[in-house]
Structures are given as C-alpha cells and as structure tokens.
Amino acid sequence: MKPKNKNKSTNSRWGGRYTSGPAEIMQEINASINFDKRLFEQDIEGSIAHCEMLVEQKILASTDGNAIIKGLKTIKSEIENESFQFSETLEDIHMNIEARLEEIIGEPAGRLHTARSRNDQVATDLRLWVRDSIDQLDSELRNLQESLIDRADTFYDLLMPGFTHLQTAQPITMGHHLLAYVEMFGRDRGRFADCRKRLNESPLGSGALAGTSYPIDRKHTARNLGFDRPMANSLDAVSDRDFAIEFLSVAAITMVHLSRLSEEIVLWCSDGFCFITLSDAFTTGSSMMPQKRNPDAAELSRAKAGRVFGNLLSLLTVMKGLPLAYSKDMQEDKEPVFDTADSLFLALGAMKGLVEDFVPNSESMLIAAKKGYPTATDLADWLVSVAGLPFREAHRITGEIVKEAEKRNISLEELPIEDMQKIDSSITHDALSVLSIENAVTSRASEGGTAPIKVKEAVLSARKRFLEK
Ligand code: ARG
C-alpha cells in the first residue's frame, strides 16, 4: 500500500531539494511540537543571544538583527497569551518560531539561522530548560526542608518508636526522625547543584556537528546565556545528553527519598499505627465505605517514583549505542525530562503540604514505643558501663531478662528487681533508672543522636546549613 501524502508542499525550512511532502505517518512520527513547545522561552532566549552575536561579529546587519529580536519578542508574547498557532507541519518549536518570524518581519527572518543548526539549537534549549528546572526544584526542596525543620523544632522531644526491620527497636524523638529527611533532601540539592555545574556549558555555535566557517564568537553567546564557557568539542556538544540523564538520575534518587517519607506517612496514619492524623485537606473518602480517609496524596507521591525511574531508564536506553553525532533518536529526550520535572514538582508540593498538615497522636506513639522491650539495649549498656561486664556478656544476660518478662507478658520496668538479680547478681536499683523510654531517649546524646537536646542543636544547624543560603 502506498503511503498517503497529507501535504503536497515540502517543508518550507528544509524542503529545497524535495518535490513532495511527507506521508501522513512520517509527519506524525517526526513532529515534536506537541511537547517541545515547552522549550519556547529557552529557544527565543537562545536565538536572541545568537542574533546579537551575529551582529557583533558583523555577520548580520544590525537593522536585520533589530528586526529579528523585535519579532522574537512579539512571538514570545504571542505564545504566552496563547494566540500563537502551532503547526505540526513545521515539526518542532524551532521551525514554528522561525516560520512565524518570517510572517512578521519577512526576509531578515531567514538570516537568523546563519552559522547555526537545529542540532546545536536544541541542545542549547534543553540545557537551559533543565538548568531553570534545577533552580526551581532547588527552591521547592528548600521549602520542604524548611517545613520539616519547623516541625522537627516543634516535636523535638516527642517520643515515638524507632524501627529496624519495621520492628520496634529503640525509642526516638519525632524531631530526630523528621530531620533525617532534611539531610537526605540536602544531599539531593547538592546533587542537583553538581549536575547544574556540569551542564552549564554552551553547545551553541557547534553547528550541525563540525563547527562553522563563519567567524562566530562562542564565548559571547555562552556569556549572554549564563553559561560558564562554550563546550569544547562540537561533536560532543550536539550529541550528548548525559546532562539530561544526570538530571533524571538525581531526580530518581530524590524520588526514592520522597517515596520513603510518603510510605511512612501512609503507615503512620493507618489504623494499625495511628501515629498521626491527616486533615480533610489531605485525604479523600471512599465512594463505598463512608468511614474511610485515605492518604492519597502520600500514595501518589510514592507512586510518582515509578514514572521517574522509568524515565531514567528510557533515556539511558535511547542514548545507548548511538553513533556520533546527532540522531533523531535524541528528540525522545524531552518527554522523560518534562515528565520527571512535573512529577517531582507535584510530589514535592504535596509532601510539603502533608508535612505541615499532620497532627501527631502522642499517646499511641508512646504506647507503641513501649512495646517490644525497646530499652533492652539500655540495660545491656548499664551492665557494661556500671557493672563492668563485656558487652557480649551483657547482651546475653539482658536477653534472658527479656525472655523472663516476655514469659510473664510484662515490661522490663514491671519485672521485680529480685527476679533480675536471679539472672545476674550485679544488677542494682540503679539499673532500673535506665529502663524508662524517656531515659532511653535523653541518654542518646551522642553527636547525631536522638536526645531532645541534640535535636534542638540539629534544628539550628539544619537551618544554618540549608536555609540561610
Ligand atoms: N526536534 C529536533 C530534536 O528535538 C531538533 C533537531 C533536529 N535536527 C535534525 N537534524 N533533524 O532533536
């Protein structure tokens, strides 16, 4: 079957040697305008910088340059106020803008693309877009850290069980638990900053792949676009997307952290835990079960991790094995990047809301913290530091005491001292003081520990390190 020709006319931007237009399906698979229209601001910014450089280098007359820049600014406002007509026939954002420029200013529009290819153009646009997103994500991450720190400050001494293997391990303070995430998000911000530093070089002026014979000034455009320097190799500049992959990797790690916090919120507000309550603003009802309050926002933030990991794998796979330099495969770089940024913005916003919204239930947390002999380590530590036993021996003795309490279904505090002394005679009344949850928490005052006094210090340090910059 012969493919249908939708367009008789060839593409006005590159169709010089063509006699007929593309098949319908060719146009459909080729066009990226539906998604790359999101690059319009960066595309126009890049074009203005390129145009100014061409004028500076006397490659373009300044009258033409002025007309081009004025036209580009008009187009920017047309797109912003949604009066711009995007056309699939014109493939992508670059050619949509150039074609409109020609409609507005006529002949000089055709001079803008001198010493430039869409290959260096799109590489520049996407770098600028990712850079902008990193800056916005950094401030979202900072805002989330601020909410976590504020709540940690409020709940600096609020007792809750700390878990390993999701089994009660040792009591901790809620402030300490929340600050753990502040550290994770701090490292995520550091990774985004590293990624930003590495991507901040300009591909513009690399041409299609080999550079250009025009006397361009790449440092000029790099500087104007806020890049640190021009990229050193034109082949690399037009054909690598490692900066996008790195962005997706950092986003994936951030999503791991967000999904863990999401999961804790889901657990904490479940009937089994009852550690926190979420307000109506952050739960949804069930259409069948009237009693339900579901933590959908937390579940969806947890689930967004799936899309982001998928996006990373998809771009890795697109880029794998591509020979130098540009291949159209690379057009597939944008959707994973856009979707990742969108997902991350949503998840970060929702998480900040959830963190500010929840109300802790101190009673259920205290009851839970007391289950499972959480101060057994403290008794073992007492046997070491006061009675002078080796830790392994202290561990064995405490294990026997726990077994005894378990047999009688009572807590360590409730076990009569005489019974403890039957197991080890060195235990005195002094040992009982270490068996309370409160003591277990206040005594863990080592650097980075959970003691309320340490949490207060950690709040101050976190404010200084993460918020005062
Ligand atoms: N829309 C294309 C992309 O996103 C622009 C570059 C096209 N270059 C080319 N030689 N066909 O990759």
The domain that holds 83 is classified in CATH as 1.10.275.10
Residue with CA closest to ligand 1 atom 12:
331
Residues 358 and 378 in one domain: no
Q: Are strands 229-230 and 201-202 parallel, antiparallel or unpaired?
A: parallel
| Per-residue confidence band for 232, with pLDDT thresholds at 50, 70 and 90 | very high
- For residue 8, the model assigns a pLDDT of 61
**In sequence order, which residues have a C-beta less than 8 Å from that of residue 373 and are 6 or more positions away?**
402, 405, 406, 411, 412
Q: Which of 18, 119, 315, 337 to mutate to test the pocket of ligand 1 (most atoms within 8 A of CB)?
A: 119
Residues 340 and 446 in one domain: no
Condensed to tens digits (0 to 9), the pLDDT of residues 75-91 reads 999 999 999 999 999 99
Active site residue 286: yes
Residues 218 and 277 in one domain: yes
User: Largest alpha-carbon pair distance within the chain?
Assistant: 101
The CA 113 to ligand 1 mean position distance, Å, reads: 14
> 18 in a domain, yes or no?
no
Q: How many domains are contained in the chain?
A: 3
Q: Which of 121, 122, 206 to mutate to test the pocket of ligand 1 (most atoms within 8 A of CB)?
A: 122
The CA 76 to ligand 1 mean position distance, Å, reads: 21
Residues 180 and 258 in one domain: yes
The CA 148 to ligand 1 mean position distance, Å, reads: 43
Instruction: Look at residues 306, 339, 367 and tell me which one is the last residue of a structural domain.
Output: 367
Residues 433 and 447 in one domain: yes
Residue range of the domain that includes 209: 120-154+162-367
Residues 323 and 406 in one domain: no
What CATH number is attached to the domain comprising 438?
Answer: 1.10.40.30
> 13 in a domain, yes or no?
no
> 286 in a domain, yes or no?
yes
22 touches 3 (CB < 8 A) = no
> 235 in a domain, yes or no?
yes
Across 294-315, b (16+ Cβ under 10 Å) vs e yields ebebbeebbebbebbbebbebb
Residues 247 and 129 in one domain: yes
- For residue 418, the model assigns a pLDDT of 93
The CA 119 to ligand 1 mean position distance, Å, reads: 6
**In sequence order, which residues have a C-beta less than 8 Å from that of residue 127 and are 6 or more positions away?**
199, 200, 201, 202, 203, 227, 243
Residue with CA closest to ligand 1 atom 11:
328
Q: Which of 204, 331, 338 to mutate to test the pocket of ligand 1 (most atoms within 8 A of CB)?
A: 331
> 7 in a domain, yes or no?
no
Active site residue 165: yes
> 8 in a domain, yes or no?
no
Q: What is the DSSP code (8-state) at residue 324?
A: S
Alpha carbon distance 308, 380 (integer Å): 45
> 6 in a domain, yes or no?
no
Residue with CA closest to ligand 1 atom 2:
331
Whole-model pTM: value is: 0.93
Residues 270 and 312 in one domain: yes
What CATH number is attached to the domain comprising 258?
Answer: 1.20.200.10
- For residue 351, the model assigns a pLDDT of 98
Residues 197 and 275 in one domain: yes
The CA 118 to ligand 1 mean position distance, Å, reads: 6
Residues 306 and 184 in one domain: yes
The CA 232 to ligand 1 mean position distance, Å, reads: 21
Instruction: Look at residues 367, 400, 426 and tell me which one is the last residue of a structural domain.
Output: 367
> 17 in a domain, yes or no?
no
Q: Which of 92, 319, 324, 335 to mutate to test the pocket of ligand 1 (most atoms within 8 A of CB)?
A: 92
Condensed to tens digits (0 to 9), the pLDDT of residues 44-57 reads 999 999 999 999 99
- For residue 14, the model assigns a pLDDT of 73
Which is higher by pLDDT, 203 or 290? 203
Number of neighbouring beta carbons within 10 Å of residue 213: 8
The H-assigned helical ranges of 16-108 are: 24-30, 33-36, 40-56, 62-80, 93-105
Condensed to tens digits (0 to 9), the pLDDT of residues 320-370 reads 999 999 999 999 999 999 999 999 999 999 999 999 999 999 999 999 999
The CA 122 to ligand 1 mean position distance, Å, reads: 7
- Kindly state the percentage of the chain with pLDDT values over 90: 88
Residues with CB under 6 A from ligand 1: 32, 36, 92, 118-119, 122, 326, 328, 330-331
Residue with CA closest to ligand 1 atom 3:
331
Nearest-Å Rg of the Cα atoms of the chain is 31
Q: Is the pLDDT of residue 7 over 70?
A: no
Query: Of 87, 139, 270, 286, which residue is the catalytic one?
Result: 286
Instruction: Look at residues 352, 367, 382 and tell me which one is the last residue of a structural domain.
Output: 367
Residues 395 and 360 in one domain: no
Average pLDDT over residues 178-188: 98
Residues 309 and 393 in one domain: no
20 touches 8 (CB < 8 A) = yes
